[in-house]
Chains A and B, each alone.
Chain A
Amino acid sequence: MTRAWFAGEAPDFRRRGFWLVLAFLAMAVAVFARLVDVQMLQGKALAAQAAAQHTSSITLHGNRGLILDRDGRVLASNKTVYDVFADPHLIDPGQRSAVADQVAPILRVNRAGVMRALQQPNEFDYLAKGVSQDIEVKLQSLNIPGIGTIPTQQRVYEPSPVPGTSFASTLLGFVNHDGSGQYGLEQYYNDQLAGSPGHSSTLTDILGNPIILSGQQHLDAHDGVNLRLGLDSQIQYWAELALAKGVDDAQAASGTLMVMDTHTGSIRAWAQYPSYDADNYAAGTLANLRDLAVSQPYEPGSVMKVVTFAGGLENRAITPSTVIDERQSVVDGVLIHDWDSRSHGIVSMQTVLDDSLNNGAMKVEQMEGQSAFYGNLLDFGIGAPTGVDIAGEHTVAVPAQASWRDINYATASFGQGVVTTPLEMLAAINAVGNGGVWVQPHAVDAVVDPTTGQATPVTPHTRRVITAATASTLAHMMVGVVDDRGAEGFNAQIPGYKGEIAGKTGTASVATSSGYGGDVIASFAGFMPVNNPQFTMMVILRYPQENRMPRFGALLAAPVWRDVARIIIDQWRITP
């Protein structure tokens, strides 16, 4: 029986068995081919896709470094704030109205806006950004599913006495929502302040929980450095107030006030008005965010005569007692005016400086010679960046000497037709106070390691531009500008400090497309005490509407200079 049925009933049993083996072989071959395809040919791509899904990598942010004043007072710091978001998918549609009722008052936002966000088909909608910790705590205590918070670091600045602005705003700059510094020191030192981010990556299960036994890759974040400024907060405080008052009194468009340590170049005060609130920078206008002191070149006007006189004295073309016949003259067909539009006859060089006589300054340039004059301009850093550590320095180079005509030399001698930034001009005047050595202005005195506390001092560039003797002679001539009878700088006089204050006024006509119009930029730059200056200060008022006349424009800036100088004298106990 066992043999018979093969032949009789299923003669092709073996053949069918053979086919069955073939069928299984075919299945195996199909699987083998697919396995080679998936595991070898597509293996790398699939492995990468798998790694992307189950490798969780988070960026660790270091704390942004602090900015401190010269006494260690914190000017810019960080606080944790919270972005509040909703995941509408996790909120029952019937509950959304109730959730909006609960959340809106806590966040102090419009209920309709919350409702709108809750009805989005997204899985992530911001309800509020940058809310404080106590609001976050209140929100968490409600324990509403689908409402979450993300902690973020926010930069915090100090208030300014001037409403609507923050303390030293243009000097410090601000940090935008992406954590990147904008303007001022925050931008210039952004990389150092930000530190280096670390990261941590680990394998996770589907819920994002790390797999404990898996290898982790970890790189620590490093906190950013702290910056210790030369800024004197006391001086800065009063400087901001005084400048704002000066700008308002003069009905000027804007004002700039800079104070630097004459010998070290360290910036002690740095004010701009109008300015902005760095804690709420988005509300500020773009024009107010710009630091005009470094980024807005202007024709400095008569303040430049200090540089002209320095060249003349250094090249022995003049002495303070040199006498000239001062008269309004024509250069290249252009009549050079004095401020009172008259000639002054036989005057000494001291009088030329005291009364800010343009034709006199032009005489100095002519006596000195064009090449020496041009070289002296460059020596004083006119048209060159100071290299100050404040973002956005923008200068206009002095045109090549070959292109200069007589009229260019003539006007440059009294600060017209050549442009500088306010800071360039301050640094040039400061060189006179510093015994003839130009010193680079700088805001940061030292970079401080946050962990070790080790401070790396900043050393500014210096270069001698005139001899100490020339500088001393010129400084004492500048004292005359303040003290001499009838001289322009009398507004800078401070009782008890006669003979100590060296300064120079400037009233620059502002060029328009059709020549010089009625607008002026009034300025006063000076240093004191003259024999060992402690500070150099410059005040600039742009487009004052009060006292628009050329002579009196200069009268506007000097009182601001004087008011702040008094504060500095008090604070630093400068004795006559």
Chain B
Amino acid sequence: MATRVGAVDSPGGGWRAAANIASRALAAADRASAAAGVDGWLLVLVLGLVAFGLVMVYSASEALGYLWTGNPNYFFEHQLIGVVLGAVGFAVAVRLDYHRLRALAKPAMALMVAMLVVVLIPHIGSEHFGAQRWVQLGPLSVQPSAVAVVVSIIFFARWLDQRGGAVRSMSGVRDYIIVMGVLLALILAERDLGSSIVIAASGFVLLALGGALKRHLLVLIAVLGVGGYGLVTLVAYRAARLAHFLNPCADALGSGFQNCQALLALGSGGLTGVGLGNSVLKYEWLPEAHTDFIFAIIGEELGLIGTVAVVTAFLLLAWRGIRASMRAPDRFGALLAGGITAWICIEAFVNVGAVTGVIPTTGIPLPFISYGGTSLATSLVGMGILCNISAQGRRHGAVHRAGVDRWGRDWRAPDPGAGPGPSPAGRRSRR
């Protein structure tokens, strides 16, 4: 697919080719979902996003790679490493029964916390753009906070699954919040607001899916809102970003520079874009054009059609993810699937929202697309887990879960991948 997209020369032909690819992909999705246990939709969405991401990383980083390293393919090649690692991680996670993650949750969390602490120790963690996030492992620099998201989702899904009804009590929610708070504090100590927000939001979604009482959730929303606002205004550079996020060009040479350049890129793209590879803003005008702000380059090169397509892809991913959660064979699977879906989609929103100026900038990559191996690999591992849950849900043929609405009416068509299940009449009974 990547080669197909890269080969188009005229915009019109490009869109025709894209439509062609999309229809083929849907057909492939059908076939995949029919044959393998894996959700074809998810598979195609993830593969498509990763391939598209590779193309965009190449386009956005070519000039930077040449300027900074002399090699225009520098970032593309490094991203390929991330794709390979991610693909391995994805393949392993798809085949690995997600139930076995239960046993991994605690040690992984312990290791995670240890790494987060290690990163804070000078000389081990390296500072980059004012954020202390990286740890060097041989030739790879790993960003522990990016791994922390997937680890914490596994950990908290297990936590909620194990404690069951406890989450409906004040004390249950309190414990959850304390553990979550410690983790967030560690990540905030690395000045990684973006990851903290994603973990907090995913944690909140897990809590809601886990069955916490409405009033607890509402109080939590209020506390998180006030706390988040306080946190943002406490840190000076974030306050400046906040002040200008709606109209960044008002301070185009100061704190609004990056966001203003992002809007200029999006605006330059218009409806159909300036054409793949033709961005001008990527020539050092837009900082982080290949990482956190790659969405702006997509908007410049492929226009509104490109940006809407990307957002739609994440929306479809949300739908398939939550559908997998609803159909998961058990509570742990449902929570895990919901948490992973929330993580990816919230991360996408926090990124796209910041680039378009809907929300303040917090510094987080666009999943699957932004340059950055750690983020890409962990996202793919997350998708692997999600696919595994989805596949097990189908095999399990658990008909009662998502298809039956709150009034007990079953509106689903028979699931061809579900295998032999209860008779249609049997499906109607809720218990």
Within 8 A of A (CB), among B396-431: 396, 398, 400-402, 404-406, 430-431
A-B contact count (CB 8 A): 162
Complex interface: chain B residues within 8 A of A43 (CB):
267-271
For B299, the closest partner residue in chain A by CB is A39
Residue from B164, B284, B338 in contact with A9 in the complex, judged by beta carbons closer than 8 Å = B164
CB distance from A201 to the nearest CB of B (A): 13
Residue from A8, A17, A45, A206 in contact with B284 in the complex, judged by beta carbons closer than 8 Å = A206
Asked if A464 is at the interface of the complex by the 8 Å CB criterion, the answer is no
User: What per-residue 1/0 map shows which CB atoms of B316-357 lie under 8 Å from chain A?
Assistant: 001100100110011100100010011001000100110011
Residue from B266, B314, B331 in contact with A39 in the complex, judged by beta carbons closer than 8 Å = B266
Asked if B220 is at the interface of the complex by the 8 Å CB criterion, the answer is no
Within 8 A of A (CB), among B207-236: 208-211
Within 8 A of A (CB), among B153-187: 164-165, 168
CB distance from B420 to the nearest CB of A (A): 17
For A2, the closest partner residue in chain B by CB is B330
Contact A38 B353 (CB under 8 A): no
Stretch at the interface among A49-57, A68-76, A172-180, A413-421: A49-57
Contact A20 B338 (CB under 8 A): yes
Q: From known contacts A28-B314, A30-B353, A45-B267, infer whether A21 and B330 are also in contact, taking CB-CB under 8 Å.
A: no
Residue from B210, B266, B285, B358 in contact with A205 in the complex, judged by beta carbons closer than 8 Å = B285
Contact B322 A17 (CB under 8 A): yes
CB distance from A30 to the nearest CB of B (A): 6
Complex interface: chain B residues within 8 A of A36 (CB):
304
Q: From known contacts A27-B349, A38-B267, A54-B281, infer whether A17 and B325 are also in contact, taking CB-CB under 8 Å.
A: yes
Asked if B49 is at the interface of the complex by the 8 Å CB criterion, the answer is no
Q: From known contacts A25-B315, A53-B264, infer whether A38 and B356 are also in contact, taking CB-CB under 8 Å.
A: yes
Residue from B165, B270, B325, B401 in contact with A47 in the complex, judged by beta carbons closer than 8 Å = B270
Chain B at the A interface: mostly helix, strand, loop or mixed? helix
Complex interface: chain A residues within 8 A of B314 (CB):
28
- Cα–Cα, bound, A53→B265 (Å): 12
- Cα–Cα, bound, A211→B281 (Å): 11
Asked if A3 is at the interface of the complex by the 8 Å CB criterion, the answer is yes
- Cα–Cα, bound, A28→B315 (Å): 7
- Cα–Cα, bound, A32→B310 (Å): 11
Asked if B240 is at the interface of the complex by the 8 Å CB criterion, the answer is no
User: What per-residue 1/0 map shows which CB atoms of B267-292 lie under 8 Å from chain A?
Assistant: 11111000000001101110000000
- Cα–Cα, bound, A39→B322 (Å): 30
CB distance from A543 to the nearest CB of B (A): 62
Residue from A7, A21, A35 in contact with B304 in the complex, judged by beta carbons closer than 8 Å = A35
Contact A49 B264 (CB under 8 A): yes
CB distance from B224 to the nearest CB of A (A): 14
Residue from A10, A24, A51 in contact with B315 in the complex, judged by beta carbons closer than 8 Å = A24
Complex interface: chain B residues within 8 A of A50 (CB):
264-265, 267-268, 280-281
Contact B334 A13 (CB under 8 A): yes
CB distance from A16 to the nearest CB of B (A): 5
Contact A39 B338 (CB under 8 A): no
- Cα–Cα, bound, A5→B402 (Å): 13
Q: From known contacts A50-B265, A205-B285, infer whether A20 and B322 are also in contact, taking CB-CB under 8 Å.
A: yes
- Cα–Cα, bound, A281→B138 (Å): 72
Asked if A285 is at the interface of the complex by the 8 Å CB criterion, the answer is no
Residue from A5, A31, A53 in contact with B285 in the complex, judged by beta carbons closer than 8 Å = A53
- Cα–Cα, bound, A50→B260 (Å): 10
Contact A38 B266 (CB under 8 A): yes
CB distance from A205 to the nearest CB of B (A): 4
Q: Which of A21, A35, A36, A203 has the most CB of B within 10 A?
A: A35
Residue from B208, B264, B280, B356 in contact with A31 in the complex, judged by beta carbons closer than 8 Å = B356
For A21, the closest partner residue in chain B by CB is B322
Residue from A2, A51, A214 in contact with B329 in the complex, judged by beta carbons closer than 8 Å = A2
Q: From known contacts A31-B352, A53-B264, A214-B280, infer whether A206 and B285 are also in contact, taking CB-CB under 8 Å.
A: yes
Complex interface: chain B residues within 8 A of A34 (CB):
356-358
Complex interface: chain A residues within 8 A of B307 (CB):
35, 39
Complex interface: chain A residues within 8 A of B398 (CB):
2-3
CB distance from B150 to the nearest CB of A (A): 19
For A34, the closest partner residue in chain B by CB is B356
Asked if B311 is at the interface of the complex by the 8 Å CB criterion, the answer is yes
Complex interface: chain B residues within 8 A of A205 (CB):
63, 283-285
Q: From known contacts A5-B164, A40-B304, infer whether A35 and B284 are also in contact, taking CB-CB under 8 Å.
A: no
Asked if A6 is at the interface of the complex by the 8 Å CB criterion, the answer is yes
CB distance from B10 to the nearest CB of A (A): 17
Residue from B210, B345, B396, B404 in contact with A10 in the complex, judged by beta carbons closer than 8 Å = B210
Asked if B308 is at the interface of the complex by the 8 Å CB criterion, the answer is yes
Contact B209 A20 (CB under 8 A): yes
Complex interface: chain A residues within 8 A of B284 (CB):
205-207
Asked if B303 is at the interface of the complex by the 8 Å CB criterion, the answer is yes
User: What per-residue 1/0 map shows which CB atoms of B111-122 lie under 8 Å from chain A?
Assistant: 000000000000
Complex interface: chain B residues within 8 A of A5 (CB):
164, 330-331
Contact B266 A28 (CB under 8 A): no
- Cα–Cα, bound, A287→B212 (Å): 94
Complex interface: chain A residues within 8 A of B330 (CB):
1-2, 5
Asked if A573 is at the interface of the complex by the 8 Å CB criterion, the answer is no
Complex interface: chain A residues within 8 A of B402 (CB):
14, 17
Residue from A16, A17, A35 in contact with B299 in the complex, judged by beta carbons closer than 8 Å = A35
Asked if A15 is at the interface of the complex by the 8 Å CB criterion, the answer is yes
Asked if B263 is at the interface of the complex by the 8 Å CB criterion, the answer is yes
Asked if A42 is at the interface of the complex by the 8 Å CB criterion, the answer is yes
Q: From known contacts A31-B356, A35-B307, A49-B249, infer whether A42 and B267 are also in contact, taking CB-CB under 8 Å.
A: yes
CB distance from B45 to the nearest CB of A (A): 14
For B341, the closest partner residue in chain A by CB is A20
Asked if A46 is at the interface of the complex by the 8 Å CB criterion, the answer is yes
Complex interface: chain A residues within 8 A of B265 (CB):
50
Contact B280 A24 (CB under 8 A): no
Complex interface: chain B residues within 8 A of A31 (CB):
311, 349, 352-353, 356, 358
For B208, the closest partner residue in chain A by CB is A16
CB distance from A480 to the nearest CB of B (A): 83
Residue from A7, A21, A38, A203 in contact with B318 in the complex, judged by beta carbons closer than 8 Å = A21
Contact A38 B164 (CB under 8 A): no
CB distance from B160 to the nearest CB of A (A): 10
CB distance from B298 to the nearest CB of A (A): 11
Asked if B205 is at the interface of the complex by the 8 Å CB criterion, the answer is yes
CB distance from A216 to the nearest CB of B (A): 13
Complex interface: chain A residues within 8 A of B304 (CB):
35-36, 39-40
Contact B209 A13 (CB under 8 A): yes
Residue from A20, A45, A49, A54 in contact with B205 in the complex, judged by beta carbons closer than 8 Å = A20
Residue from A20, A35, A39 in contact with B342 in the complex, judged by beta carbons closer than 8 Å = A20
- Cα–Cα, bound, A30→B318 (Å): 16
Residue from B168, B311, B326 in contact with A14 in the complex, judged by beta carbons closer than 8 Å = B326
For B282, the closest partner residue in chain A by CB is A205
User: What per-residue 1/0 map shows which CB atoms of A195-229 lie under 8 Å from chain B?
Assistant: 00000000111110001001000000000000000
A-B contact pairs, 18 of them (CB 8 A): A2-B329, A5-B164, A7-B430, A9-B164, A10-B331, A12-B211, A17-B322, A17-B402, A21-B318, A25-B315, A31-B349, A31-B358, A32-B308, A34-B357, A38-B263, A39-B267, A46-B268, A53-B264
10 further contact pairs, Cβ within 8 A, besides A49-B264, A50-B280: A9-B165, A13-B211, A20-B205, A28-B311, A30-B358, A34-B358, A35-B266, A35-B307, A39-B307, A50-B267
- The 9 A-B pairs with the shortest beta carbon distances in the complex, nearest first, are A46-B267, A10-B211, A205-B283, A50-B264, A24-B318, A206-B284, A39-B304, A27-B349, A43-B270
